[in-house]
Structure 1
Amino acid sequence: MLAATLALGALAGSAIATPSLTTPVDAMNLFSKRISSGCSTSGAASCHNTTKQTDLCCFESPGGLLLQTQFWDTNPSTGPSNSWTIHGLWPDNCDGTFTENCDSSRDYTDIADLLTNQGASDTLSFMKEFWVDINGQNEQFWEHEWSTHGTCYSTLKTSCLPSGSPKGAEAVAFFQTVVKLFKTLPTYDFLANAGITPDSSKTYTLTTLTNALKSASGVTPALNCDGSSLNAIEWYFNLKGSVIDGQFVAIDAPSKGSCGSSGIKYVPKSGGTSTTTSGGSSPTGGSGLPNKGTIHASTTGGLLTGGTWSVQTLATYTFSGTSSSFTMSTSKGSCGVSSGKLTCGSGVSATTFSAVTSGSNLLLAVSGSTAFSSDATPSGTAQETVFTGNSHSKTYTLSIVSS
Structure 2
Amino acid sequence: MTEIGNLSSDLVELILSFLPIHTLMRSSTVCKLWYSIISSPTFSPIAHNNKPWFFLYGLHNTNSKNNQSFAFDPISNLWFCLPTFPSEQQQQPNTSFIGTNGFFFTTAPKFSYTRILHRSWNLTSPLRFSRINPLLGVFDNESGLPRFIVVGGVRFIGNLVDIEDRLAVEIYDPSLGSWELCPPLPADFRSGNSSFSLSSALFGGRFYVFGIYSCFVSSFDMHEHVWSEVQTLRPPGVIFSFLIACRERLVLAGICNGPLGPSFNLWKIDEKTMEFSEIAIMPRDLLYSLFDSEEDDKFASLKCVGLGDLVYVFNEEYHKIYPACFCEIDSESGKCNWRRVPQLPLPVNKFHKVISFCSTISMHNILQGGEEHIGPPAGYV
TM over 0.5: no
Structure 2 length normalisation: TM-score? 0.27
**Structure number with higher strand proportion:** 2
**Structure number with higher helix proportion:** 1
Structure 1 length normalisation: TM-score? 0.26
